[in-house]
């Protein structure tokens, strides 16, 4: 299961639109990091609107991916988390910490631009 | 009685099991939050089966009664068992290099939670309940 990662000028956009196995999630993480390195993108927006389950494993992958993107000198924003998914994570004590989030793709891109500007 | 058994042998079965749980919850009139809770709980428990026991089974049952909708899930394996259940449900405890968030997190998501384990047999049973309008 390959998740497409699109390059849009200096940023990357990706949308997780299918239910990922743990292996898929790890592959996605590796792909994101590789793309950030290869394209020297300034940041990435990861859209999770379609995800209806984010368990502790997936939450960890998202957290890790965002922080690894940062260590590569880029910014990461996760957008579109459904309210029920956010609620479930809070109830489990696993909210995404230290990750920039936005409600939808449009605001995600705006936020990413802002973060990139702040970094420069 | 409506019942779905999903064999748990690899990570695709985790996806399958949580999908079945979500579908049953939706059909029985549970809202998005309960659907997400149940699917997430099933995901955690079935991952543990793969990780710690290799394989097992997840049985999702419509246990509704008059006036209440109820889904019971039984996740069973014949792996090594959980040596110390109290310790296993402590947040942060993991023998698998994990976050130790699966069992304690699951417990907070569901209405009923029970672990029976001995060497060679582990059963984690959970249930979510909803009063019918
Ligand atoms: N089905 C199982 N069989 C044997 N041990 C288990 C099983 N499920 C959980 N455990 C034990 O309980 C611990 C805690 O599980 P969990 O809360 O899901 O955290 P994690 O999977 O991150 O370690 C595991 O590390 C493991 O030692
Ligand atoms: Mg676990």
The residue extents of the domains of chain A are 5-119
Q: What does residue B96 show for φ and ψ, rounded to 5 degrees?
A: -115, 20
List, as ranges, residues with CB under 5 A of the ion ligand 2. B 48, 102
Q: Report pLDDT digits (tens) over B60-87.
A: 999 999 999 999 999 999 999 999 999 9
Mutate to test the pocket of ligand 1, among B103, B110, B119, B123 (most ligand atoms within 8 A of CB): B103
CA angle A37, A53, B50 (to 5 degrees): 85
- Asked if pLDDT for residue A31 goes beyond 90, the answer is yes
**pLDDT above 90: percentage of residues in chain B:** 94
A5-119, CATH topology level: Transcription Regulator spoIIAA (3.30.750)
**Token pair recorded at residue A71:** 């260590």
CATH of span B3-131: 3.30.565.10
Sequence-distant (6+) residues with CB within 8 A of B131 are B67, B68, B69
Ligand nearest to the CA of B84: 1
Q: Which residue has the tokens 């292996």?
A: A23
The residue extents of the domains of chain B are: 3-131
Instruction: Name the minimum distance, in Å, from the CA of A15 to any CA of chain B.
Output: 18
Give strand pairing partners of B117.
B122
Q: Report pLDDT digits (tens) over B48-64.
A: 999 999 999 999 999 99
């Amino acid at each position: 299961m390959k998740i497409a990662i699109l390059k849009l000028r200096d940023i990357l956009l990706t949308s997780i639109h299918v239910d990922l196995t743990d292996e898929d999630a790890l592959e996605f993480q590796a792909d994101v990091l590789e793309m950030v390195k290869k394209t020297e993108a300034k940041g990435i927006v990861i859209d999770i609107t379609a995800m209806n389950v984010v368990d502790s494993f997936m939450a960890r992958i998202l957290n890790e991916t965002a922080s690894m993107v940062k260590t590569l000198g880029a910014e990461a924003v996760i957008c579109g988390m459904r309210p029920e998914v956010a609620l479930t994570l809070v109830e489990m004590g696993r909210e995404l910490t230290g990750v920039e989030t936005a409600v939808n793709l449009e605001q995600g891109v705006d936020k990413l631009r802002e973060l990139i500007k702040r970094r420069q | 009685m409506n019942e779905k058994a999903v064999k748990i042998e690899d990570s695709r079965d985790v996806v399958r099991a949580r999908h079945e749980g979500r579908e049953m919850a939706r059909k029985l009139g549970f809202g998005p939050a309960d659907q997400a809770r149940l699917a997430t709980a099933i995901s955690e428990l079935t991952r543990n089966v793969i990780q710690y026991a290799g394989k097992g089974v997840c049985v999702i049952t419509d246990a509704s009664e008059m006036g209440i909708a109820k889904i019971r899930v039984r996740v069973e394996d014949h792996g090594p068992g959980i040596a110390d259940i109290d310790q296993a449900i402590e947040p942060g405890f993991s023998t698998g290099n994990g976050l130790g968030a699966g069992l304690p997190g699951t417990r907070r998501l569901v209405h009923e939670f029970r672990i029976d384990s001995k060497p060679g047999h582990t059963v984690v049973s959970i249930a979510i309940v909803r009063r019918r309008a």
